[in-house]
Amino acid sequence: MDFVAAIGRIFLAFLSHVGRLSAFAGTALSHIVRPPFYPRLTLRAMVEIGYYSLPVVGLTAVFTGMVLALQSYSGFSRFAAESAVATVVVLSITRELAPVLAGLMVAGRIGASMAAEIGTMRVTEQIDALTTLSTNPFKYLVAPRLLAGLLMVPCLVLVADIIGVFGGYIVGVYKLGFNPSSYLARTWEFLEPIDVISGLTKAAVFGFIISLMGCYHGYYSRGGAQGVGAATTNSVVSAAIMILIFNYVITALYFGK
């Protein structure tokens, strides 16, 4: 009986979390579209997410592209399909690896810092102070970050696409001895708009998830430094898990059949 009760409790706790998160997301979305807007804060969040994440995302992309070229070359040589390397690199990067890896890296960088910042504001009563100064915390804190995540992660992924392909090109040409112009021709040959577009769709969803989890866990953190620490961890873990789940869902929607 105790066991069943425990499972029931966990399930109920899970449902109440889902409910609270949905309500949070709904409220935040409604504040994105209704004035007053905070363009300054949105811009600042966009710079924080887009610009300052460039090095880490770029580094991830270039090494992923390089590894991908090496791996597929050695794997495909078993059935004499080395010529497919360029195509494999560009398809894997644009469809999968750039959005997922960039999403995970940004979740670690941005989700954590959002949760820590908003969480600290919560436990030091700064969020309460906002409301007493007639400023809605959803509008002032959450909406700019959600919007910035939604817009900037696709930009990052577009850059990661280019850098990742470039990484593959470097290895392909300088290490594996492909002819530069035929490697590039191969890269373009089978690439279709949907490959890039599906990747950017993922990026937008991931960006939204990252900001949402950062803000949500920060907003509901309690109890001081320890609570803020827990909020930071939870925001990164839950964003990462949701990114992996939504990655599958979006892939299935685009390429399911």
DSSP string, 171-227: HHHHTS---HHHHHHHHHHT--HHHHHHHHHHHHHHHHHHHHHHHHHHHT--SSHHH
For 249, phi and psi rounded to 5 degrees?
-60, -45
Q: Is 136 in the site for another protein (CB under 8 A)?
A: yes
List all residues 6 or more positions away from 180 whose beta carbon is below 8 Å from its beta carbon.
169, 173
List all residues 6 or more positions away from 155 whose beta carbon is below 8 Å from its beta carbon.
50
For 204, phi and psi rounded to 5 degrees?
-65, -45
Tell me: cis bond preceding 55? Omega within 30 of 0 counts: no
Q: How far is the CB of 22 from another protein (least distance, A)?
A: 17
Nearer to another protein, 37 or 76 (CB): 37
Nearer to another protein, 45 or 156 (CB): 45
Q: Which of 6, 12, 18, 129 is close enough to bind another protein by CB under 8 A?
A: 129
Q: How many residues bind another protein (CB under 8 A)?
A: 16
Q: Is 124 in the site for another protein (CB under 8 A)?
A: yes
Q: Is 140 in the site for another protein (CB under 8 A)?
A: yes
Q: Which stretch binds another protein (CB under 8 A): 84-92, 133-141, 232-240, 249-257?
A: 133-141
Residues of 165-187 as b/e, b for ≥16 C-beta within 10 angstroms? bebbbebbbeebebeeeebbebb
Nearer to another protein, 109 or 139 (CB): 139
Q: Which stretch binds another protein (CB under 8 A): 17-25, 87-95, 119-127, 171-179?
A: 119-127
List all residues 6 or more positions away from 142 whose beta carbon is below 8 Å from its beta carbon.
28, 31, 118, 215, 219
User: Among residue numbers 79 through 118, which ones bind another protein (CB under 8 A)?
Assistant: 117
Q: How far is the CB of 96 from another protein (least distance, A)?
A: 37
d(CA 30, CA 32): 5
Q: Which stretch binds another protein (CB under 8 A): 78-86, 129-137, 149-157, 201-209?
A: 129-137
Q: Is 131 in the site for another protein (CB under 8 A)?
A: yes
Query: Which residue shows structure tokens 């070359």?
Result: 73
Q: CA angle, corner 179, sides to 89 and 62, nearest 5?
A: 35
Nearer to another protein, 22 or 179 (CB): 22
Q: Is 52 in the site for another protein (CB under 8 A)?
A: no
Q: Which of 135, 182, 201, 247 is close enough to bind another protein by CB under 8 A?
A: 135
Nearer to another protein, 46 or 165 (CB): 46
Residues in the chain, how many? 257
Nearer to another protein, 42 or 92 (CB): 42
Nearer to another protein, 125 or 192 (CB): 125
Q: Is 128 in the site for another protein (CB under 8 A)?
A: yes
Residues that bind another protein (CB under 8 A): 117, 120-121, 124-126, 128-136, 140
